[in-house]
Amino acid sequence: MQMMENSVNITIRPMAEADLGEVSRIQALAYGADFLEADAVIRQRWQVSPHTAWVACTEGRAEGYLVAYRSAWGCITSLHGAFEPEPAGDCLYVHDLALAPALAGHGVGRRLVARAWQAGVEAGCRLTALVCVQQAGAFWRRLGYETAVPADGAMQRLLQGYGDGACYMHRRLPQEHAGSPGVAGNGAPVQPVGDR
């Protein structure tokens, strides 16, 4: 899928094993030291759910990525922990979205999210959720995500492991307009909290 975004030629394609080194490079550019995951963790996450992992490329080189997996609403993967997909889950958990600084502001993050939403809808998921870190809440709210508090105490403790300011966010997947970030609404049973 070729897309022109503000004169940056972007190709979004499924992540391949050969991309994992670039994913580590992009992660190091996008995240603080506390969030950097070991190469073995990145590989495990790709291996358990390769059909929900994509890269955004410019001139053939990966410069952004998104990794997600099928889960259940309210379930959180621990920081640096292994993915444990829930085959019967109806929630697409977006674990990681990262872009090289050169792609910031070109709509590439929205395009990666749209690809993930489309895959979630095709898999029968109704919801999408994530843990928001590094003050990225405004980006996710623009895509219709809302902050929620997981009801399970163990999940709340896992969320705390992501550091100060981390919050769990969710929304309904747009069933009629798959791939159209910005359609609001969620409907999941949550305890809403204010913006963080």
Q: Which domain holds residue 178?
A: 2-192
Question: Which of 96-116 are b and which e, b meaning 16 or more Cβ less than 10 Å from the residue's Cβ?
Answer: bbbbbeebeebbbbbbbbbbb
Backbone angles phi, psi at 40, to 5 degrees: -65, -35
Judged against a pLDDT cut of 60, whether residue 126 lies above it is answered with: yes
Backbone angles phi, psi at 50, to 5 degrees: -65, -20
CATH of the domain at 147: 3.40.630.30
Domain count, the chain: 1
Helix then strand then coil, in percent of the chain rounded to 5, is: 30, 30, 40
Q: What is the pLDDT of residues 128-183, one digit of tens each?
A: 999 999 889 999 999 999 999 877 788 888 888 898 889 999 999 987 544 444 43
Q: Model-level pTM?
A: 0.83
Q: Smallest Cα–Cα separation from 173: which of 163, 165, 181?
A: 181
